[in-house]
Structure 1
């Protein structure tokens, strides 16, 4: 259906300091992109797009009803999956061992801290959306959480940008940039308009989430962190509209599988082809929801597999740990002692037995804070990402 294309406008370029190449220093004008105001626009998918949209809604509902309601650990599992994949799109990939150490409070790399921050920001946005309308303050608060690990970025976090930014091209000017978002003076009004759109209840749910994401990325309201917050925006709208109650659809894994296609579809949206982006998100939702159901089944089978491997005694510390590993796949000795209700020595012995059995893996050998992780749970994170990637590329 018809959707207004972004406009381009020539603007003066007056940087505070002339830096970069000769071409950078000589730049006097730039072409910025001006997204349309969408707060009151209507959207109704039809034909192939409508069918994909309906199938996607059914896939999410099936995942939620089939596993979200009775497999509680799936919620945290999918949150981690979505946040880690979203970080990878931004070229932040600590690996699950480093992620686990950071999550458990151990020594963490900068990349691991960033991935943990992405989880925290996503949780904040989704939780807030589940209790009321989505506000600009929700987005600003999530942005502060996302940027907190970076000292320099954190100083300007949680605020709408007051400078011109761009994607690609030079480090110093928008020359040869792939995309130049609207000037900072237009961003507050565009964001107010987007918040109106995001809180409407008269739009097809998934289409609303897809279009809000594309509009957010086009506005690019922050100096940094737009990708992660924009993708979290999708999950927030799905929660706000009640399509999800517990689970998070791991859409970022589908986008990660073919980033060129993802960015190309954002370009289509900017050229007025909103149907293309809605269909892209709907199709990705189908693939990710189906793959997540496979992971849910695999996770649900793990406790029995662990018990067959270890054969724990009834009411033993080993049995108590196995019963909680899906809920707490990363733990230290204190956590183990709380779960087992035993002495520190007995908790350590149980942890060591499960490690010897290959169920746990030691992530940090620190004497002060030794950290273990349930290997099978994190292996399933990789398996889910790979499965989504295969489904996505097989159906291009």
Structure 2
């Protein structure tokens, strides 16, 4: 085993004896050597992020788009951990009454992401921020009994269900080593150096997953860390980049490449994989924004031509862009318009082929902005 990334350490004795991984602090020694392919990927990833940042600043109602994107990322990130939910579940207008454990996981991820972004105004990325975000993520959901907001005080391990410390695929650092490693990671994240932020983000994500400081929720916090770091470095101003779909699609390779660093000290292959993830994700986000922008412009023009009622219809149409599944009662309450005004606006939007009714039940009719949802549902 190459010890560039760390080494295995023996804990306890006799029948209780086991080995845990002790990671070396970042940056790697010797330093990362980028070959031609990696340099090209780095330049493509940075260029695509620049384009994404530019166009996301110019889309109409950026906040609405971002709120949809945050929900999509929350869903994908939770799906990696085995959560069974769809985008339509998350957008259900009556979600409060229909929340099950799967949906609750995703809603908590959305809250954790929003909390962390706001907290970045007061704190740098540090262990305190990660713990606070973890508390929001794990509150009252599965795993909520596993010390939300606290680093673990017992040994954890990664492996198939039923595996033990001795046959686990990977055993993270013991509790003392974990605390030390998280303190070193905090320093690395906040050190002023000339390392490209994308490489730094990739190394930080690898190190966080390797340390596995929480009893549950490490994957979701580790993926959120990437976005938070790029926002802190002002490469992104909003949460428009999410690599969960790429990691979900390449899940086996993702875990194999993390192990390759631990076993062989080969950070370079991990960095290439990470840069490819950033590049493909940024390109995907650019394509999504362009499609949504085009759809918005087409439908907005149609709404503007609706005559006297255009003002109310426009209001409902704009509401649809962050709530593409609606019912009339909740829409009228949210927008502060009468039930009849909301109902008439919905009728008009159906005539314009913007909205479709889903359920035949007259009592609690639900309407869907299908074309918009089709774009956002991609990959979920």
Q: Which string of whole-angstrom CA distances, capped at 9 and with x for unpartnered residues, describes residues 258-296 of structure 1?
A: 101111111122231111111111111111111111110
2:56 to 63, 67, 82: 67
Deviation at 1:331, TM superposition (A): 4.6
Match of 1:176 in 2: 167
Check if 1:4 corresponds to 2:1.
no
Q: Single out whichever of 34-43 and 66-75 deviates more from structure 2.
A: 34-43
Deviation at 1:313, TM superposition (A): 3.2
Question: d(CA) in 2 for partners of 1:144 and 1:181?
Answer: 21
Check if 1:359 corresponds to 2:355.
yes
Q: CA RMSD in A?
A: 3.0
Secondary structure class of the residue paired with 1:153: coil
- TM-score if structure 2 supplies the norm length? 0.86
Give the alignment of 1:74-85 within 5 angstroms.
74-85=65-76
Instruction: Decide whether the 8 Å contact of 1:100 with 1:373 is kept in 2.
Output: no
Check if 1:89 corresponds to 2:84.
no
Question: d(CA) in 2 for partners of 1:358 and 1:373?
Answer: 8
Deviation at 1:102, TM superposition (A): 7.4
Instruction: Decide whether the 8 Å contact of 2:8 with 2:21 is kept in 1.
Output: yes
Check if 1:156 corresponds to 2:165.
no
1:278 to 271, 277, 284: 271
Match of 1:381 in 2: 376
Instruction: Decide whether the 8 Å contact of 1:74 with 1:247 is kept in 2.
Output: no
Match of 2:291 in 1: 298
Deviation at 1:167, TM superposition (A): 0.7
Question: d(CA) in 2 for partners of 1:344 and 1:264?
Answer: 55
1:116 to 81, 101, 107: 107
Match of 2:39 in 1: 50
Question: d(CA) in 1 for partners of 2:28 and 2:346?
Answer: 57
Match of 1:210 in 2: 202
Instruction: Decide whether the 8 Å contact of 1:30 with 1:175 is kept in 2.
Output: yes
Q: Single out whichever of 186-195 and 207-216 deviates more from structure 2.
A: 186-195
1:233 to 225, 234, 252: 225
Match of 2:252 in 1: 260
Question: d(CA) in 1 for partners of 2:73 and 2:11?
Answer: 37
Instruction: Decide whether the 8 Å contact of 1:97 with 1:363 is kept in 2.
Output: no
Check if 1:38 corresponds to 2:26.
yes
Instruction: Decide whether the 8 Å contact of 1:317 with 1:340 is kept in 2.
Output: no
Question: d(CA) in 2 for partners of 1:154 and 1:362?
Answer: 38
Deviation at 1:88, TM superposition (A): 1.2
Q: Gaps (5+ residues) in structure 2?
A: none
Closer/same/farther in 2, CA of residues 40 and 277 from structure 1, 3 Å limit: closer
- TM-score if structure 1 supplies the norm length? 0.83
Number of corresponding residues: 371
Deviation at 1:176, TM superposition (A): 1.6
Secondary structure class of the residue paired with 2:8: strand
Question: d(CA) in 2 for partners of 1:13 and 1:345?
Answer: 74
Deviation at 1:74, TM superposition (A): 3.0
Deviation at 1:210, TM superposition (A): 0.7
Instruction: Decide whether the 8 Å contact of 1:306 with 1:359 is kept in 2.
Output: no
Q: Gaps (5+ residues) in structure 1?
A: 15-26, 387-396
Secondary structure class of the residue paired with 1:105: helix
Deviation at 1:188, TM superposition (A): 1.4
Closer/same/farther in 2, CA of residues 340 and 320 from structure 1, 3 Å limit: same
Instruction: Decide whether the 8 Å contact of 2:108 with 2:138 is kept in 1.
Output: yes
Give the alignment of 1:280-359 within 5 angstroms.
280-307=273-300, 312-314=306-308, 315-331=310-326, 333=328, 336-337=331-332, 341-354=336-349, 357=353, 359=355
Deviation at 1:51, TM superposition (A): 2.3
Closer/same/farther in 2, CA of residues 250 and 151 from structure 1, 3 Å limit: closer
Q: Which string of whole-angstrom CA distances, capped at 9 and with x for unpartnered residues, describes residues 306-332 of structure 1?
A: 357776334342232113322443555
Closer/same/farther in 2, CA of residues 304 and 169 from structure 1, 3 Å limit: closer
Closer/same/farther in 2, CA of residues 247 and 65 from structure 1, 3 Å limit: farther
